Structure 1
Amino acid sequence: MIRLIIDTYHMGSWNMACDLAIAKHVGKKVQPTTIRLYSWNLATLSIGRFQKIEDIDIDYLKKKYIDLVRRPTGGRAVLHHKEITYLFAANIDHPKLPKSVVGSYKVIAEALIKSMEELGIKCDMEKNKNNHNNTPACYDAPSIYEITVDKKKFIGSAQYRNESYVLQHGSIPQIFPLRDYVNLFKMPEDKKEKLYKHLEKRVIDINTLIGRTVDCEEMANAFKKGFEDVFEEEVVLGELSPSEIELTKKLVDKFEINLDD
Structure 2
Amino acid sequence: MASRSRMRTPESSFRMPMSSPLGSAESFESAAPITALLDSPPIRELFGEPAECRLDFFCSPQENMARDWQRTLECLRSPDTPPLLRLYGWKPWAVSLGMYQSAALLNQERCRERGIAIVQRPTGGRALLHAEELTYAVVVRLSSERTPRQIYRLVHERIAQALEGLCGVRLELAPAPPLMERPPAAVCFSSSARMELLASGRKLVGSAQRILGNVLLQHGSILLGDAHVLLAELVDLPDEAAREHLRRQLRERSTSLAQLCARPISWWECALAVWESFCGVPIPGTH
Structure 1 unaligned segments of length 5 or more: list them: 229-233, 239-261
In structure 1, C-alpha distance between the alignment counterparts of 2:205 and 2:128, rounded to whole Å: 11
Classify the secondary structure of the residue corresponding to 1:171. Answer: strand
Classify the secondary structure of the residue corresponding to 1:18. Answer: helix
In structure 1, C-alpha distance between the alignment counterparts of 2:125 and 2:166, rounded to whole Å: 27
1:65 pairs with 2:65? no
In structure 2, C-alpha distance between the alignment counterparts of 1:175 and 1:220, rounded to whole Å: 14
In structure 2, C-alpha distance between the alignment counterparts of 1:22 and 1:102, rounded to whole Å: 21
TM-aligned CA deviation for residue 237 of structure 1? 5.7
1:123 pairs with 2:171? yes
Alignment TM-score, normalising by the size of structure 1: 0.80
| Cα-to-partner distance string for 1:219-254 (whole Å, 9 max, x where unaligned) | 3432244335xxxxx56868xxxxxxxxxxxxxxxx
In structure 1, C-alpha distance between the alignment counterparts of 2:92 and 2:121, rounded to whole Å: 16
In structure 2, C-alpha distance between the alignment counterparts of 1:129 and 1:135, rounded to whole Å: 13
> Which of 78, 100, 110 is the equivalent residue of 2:128?
78
> Which of 63, 70, 74 is the equivalent residue of 1:25?
74
The equivalent residue for 1:161 is 211
In structure 1, C-alpha distance between the alignment counterparts of 2:112 and 2:96, rounded to whole Å: 15
Q: How does 1:6-155 map to 2 (within 5 A)?
A: 6-27=55-76, 28-93=78-143, 95=145, 97-98=146-147, 101-120=148-167, 121-129=169-177, 131-155=181-205
In structure 2, C-alpha distance between the alignment counterparts of 1:123 and 1:24, rounded to whole Å: 33
Seq. identity, %: 24
Alignment coverage as a number of residue pairs? 229
Classify the secondary structure of the residue corresponding to 2:224. Answer: strand
TM-aligned CA distance change 1:83 to 1:116, over 3 Å: same
- Letter in structure 1 aligned against 2:248: K
Contact 1:48 1:77 in 2 (8 A): yes
Query: Runs of at least 4 residues of structure 1 off by over 4 A?
Result: 234-238
Alignment TM-score, normalising by the size of structure 2: 0.73
> Which of 172, 175, 183 is the equivalent residue of 2:225?
175
In structure 1, C-alpha distance between the alignment counterparts of 2:185 and 2:214, rounded to whole Å: 33
Structure 2 unaligned segments of length 5 or more: list them: 1-38, 40-50
- Letter in structure 2 aligned against 1:50: Y
- Letter in structure 2 aligned against 1:108: V
The equivalent residue for 2:254 is 203
TM-aligned CA distance change 1:91 to 1:181, over 3 Å: same
In structure 1, C-alpha distance between the alignment counterparts of 2:91 and 2:220, rounded to whole Å: 17
- Letter in structure 2 aligned against 1:165: V
TM-aligned CA deviation for residue 199 of structure 1? 1.9
In structure 1, C-alpha distance between the alignment counterparts of 2:159 and 2:83, rounded to whole Å: 15
Contact 2:272 2:283 in 1 (8 A): no
Classify the secondary structure of the residue corresponding to 1:119. Answer: helix
- Letter in structure 2 aligned against 1:18: R
Q: How does 1:215-230 map to 2 (within 5 A)?
A: 215-216=267-268, 218-228=269-279
In structure 2, C-alpha distance between the alignment counterparts of 1:25 and 1:207, rounded to whole Å: 37
Q: Which one has the largest radius of gyration?
A: 2
Cα-Cα RMSD: 2.1
- Letter in structure 2 aligned against 1:127: P
Q: Which moved more, 1:132-141 or 1:8-17?
A: 132-141
